[in-house]
Chain A
């Protein structure tokens, strides 16, 4: 009796595992795996890469995409691109913000300060839609947090996501480098003004034209500005923007783990000593 129940249970679980891949047919392609420096329990951001990524955002993405949660001062704070303070001030001063009212009750324009939020490319969502064929360019502050690079099968759920993270930065990289000609059976139904991208989350058709072109930016550190390089850099920058305190989290996490581990060993020894009085 008991043996048969165990067998039944094992068979049931086996059936589930068999069924899962068949059921998990997802339209979207899983993101391409990129070996980012910030992966893993000790991973940190590559300062030069995040700085280059900011340049790509500023010169390419920022034409349409806002980053409403970011402030210029963030660019100089520890754990990110860590631009020196003068450079942060200079970056901010390139933008104009409306301030006021002044003593006479008038609004006025002034250069942005490090404490100001990133200036948005459009005054409001409707203006953004109107300028982009009806599609609203997503705010990029949390793009690497709010998208999963891989999902679907149990294997990705239980291993890939746990070890490599949710794949948000990889998703951004894959979309940026994933533009291709539509397969012939889909080419006919291409919506007006849309581009084929099998990595894009909402179906294969994306409103954004391929944003990166070879040499689209000129890196100050002499890095070759290939599409692949720019995509990686801007994904790393957006990963940092999604969680500017990531390095702090991991650093404190390591300290906490070491502390708890030592504490656990000591408590185990204390417990054993105390129970030794009673247990032969």
Chain B
């Protein structure tokens, strides 16, 4: 795929540019002619949806920064001024806030799609690992951004999350002081969070570029998990997938708009409409929905340090997944046992989310511990074992055989 077919441009300006910087042929190879498996379903549109969401977040974010004051005395009121006095500010602010939720919704669907269709397996391990890195940076960005409005939950989230680092032996307390820029969550904390919240999205852009680069080397995985073998298996990215992705994007934007315009506060916590007060602790300190499963894992382990390790481990374990999965078959469509466990993992993650939104007491604690144990069991025991024990269903020989049955039957008859 790295071999560019030499394109002959008729326009002399294009030829002039092309001989100095082959950006036109690059665009043509990677955005227009890029051969894409013909059988991708709508779960594959989430990559494009995520690219759009990143742009939405960056554009709305840049506009918000024009009106935001990163200071403990003014941050909360400046967000309110955006909602009240900036032209369309109420909508831009909600687009950014609800957009973060939608970004995570899309990224989780994207990740579970990868888990189901085995997109992490050779030769796409690096692609997958860059993806996990993107998730981590996204989470950091979302957390930093959540602190900026300086509401009650913003402040206490900052306090709880930065305090996690105090679990590090010997240096914990010093690290927390260093992160805060003082001896409590205060103005220096808000300022550095703001700075980093503006920086990390551009790191994300870079990582996304690497992610797409790593995608374009082996090409897309696809629902049957069989590599592309001939031109018959693929269609050009444009217009086939540009149009399919665009349709997927607009349908996703409908959901986004529905939340943003008609239930803008549903995905947040009302208490974050109260200004941060270091003297008043909210009854329940709960993160946004997209962090709830990790929060449940953190709180299900009685030891603080082990809890923090488990929480980060729940994501870091994904780095090892390509080597934990022992099955040669990619797509869960042909893996009857793994498919069941895949759905159990989905259910387990949802249960962890529900547990995370409730106080860690009584039955919730028990459920949380079982669900946490199961989460790690899935990756560390079930996935390696099922790969050995399962008898996969017969896999089609090629994409065209799988999706163009009449023609392949005809050929078989020959």
Contact = CB atoms under 8 A, between A and B. Distances in A.
Contact of A267 (B83, B90, B243, B341): B243
A187 interface: no
A280 to B, nearest CB: 7
Interface residues of A, number: 53
A210 B266 CA distance: 31
B273 A245 contact: no
Contacts of A252: 88, 91, 261
Interface in B106-123: none
B90 A245 contact: yes
B38 A278 contact: yes
Contact of A147 (B94, B263, B270, B362): B270
Interface stretch (B4-12, B194-202, B343-351): B343-351
A110 B405 CA distance: 85
B261 A249 contact: yes
A268 to B, nearest CB: 5
A250 B89 CA distance: 14
B80 A274 contact: no
A257 interface: yes
Contacts, number: 126
A264 B261 contact: no
Contact of B250 (A6, A245, A260): A260
A23 B364 contact: yes
A146 B273 contact: yes
B315 interface: no
A104 interface: no
Nearest to B258: A257
A249 B262 CA distance: 8
Interface string A262-274: 0110011011001
B161 to A, nearest CB: 22
Nearest to A167: B270
A41 B259 CA distance: 11
B263 A271 contact: no
Given A16-B367, A19-B363, A5 B341 contact: yes
A8 to B, nearest CB: 8
A22 B363 CA distance: 10
Contacts of B336: 2
B205 interface: no
Interface stretch (A45-53, A158-166, A174-182, A222-230): A158-166
B266 A161 contact: yes
B262 A250 contact: yes
Nearest to B364: A23
A243 B263 CA distance: 13
A250 B261 contact: yes
Nearest to A157: B357
Interface residues of B, number: 52
B265 interface: yes
Given A13-B347, A249-B91, A243 B83 contact: yes
Interface in B252-270: 253-254, 257-258, 260-266, 270
B340 interface: yes
B263 A165 contact: yes
Interface in A122-180: 141-142, 145-148, 154, 161-162, 165-166, 168
B243 A256 contact: no
A252 B261 CA distance: 8
Nearest to A5: B340
B247 A267 contact: yes
Contact of B266 (A12, A22, A162, A270): A162
A261 interface: yes
A146 B90 contact: no
Given A12-B347, A162-B266, A250-B261, A264 B251 contact: yes
B239 A274 contact: yes
B224 to A, nearest CB: 16
Contacts of B273: 142, 145-146, 242
A9 interface: yes
A69 B274 CA distance: 12
B337 interface: yes
Contacts of A248: 88, 90-91
Interface in A217-265: 242-245, 248-250, 252-254, 256-257, 260-261, 263-264
Contact of B260 (A147, A253, A263, A271): A253
A260 B84 contact: no
Contacts of B253: 260
Contact of B340 (A2, A242, A270): A2
Given A16-B354, A145-B270, A260 B80 contact: no
Contacts of B211: none
Nearest to A152: B358
B91 A146 contact: no
Contacts of A242: 273
A16 B351 contact: yes
B77 interface: yes
A278 B235 CA distance: 8
B120 to A, nearest CB: 22
Closest 10 CB pairs of A and B: A253-B261, A146-B273, A145-B273, A245-B90, A267-B247, A5-B340, A146-B274, A271-B243, A264-B250, A148-B270
Interface of A: 1-2, 5-6, 8-9, 12-13, 16, 19, 22-24, 41, 68-69, 74, 141-142, 145-148, 154, 161-162, 165-166, 168, 242-245, 248-250, 252-254, 256-257, 260-261, 263-264, 267-268, 270-271, 274-275, 278, 280
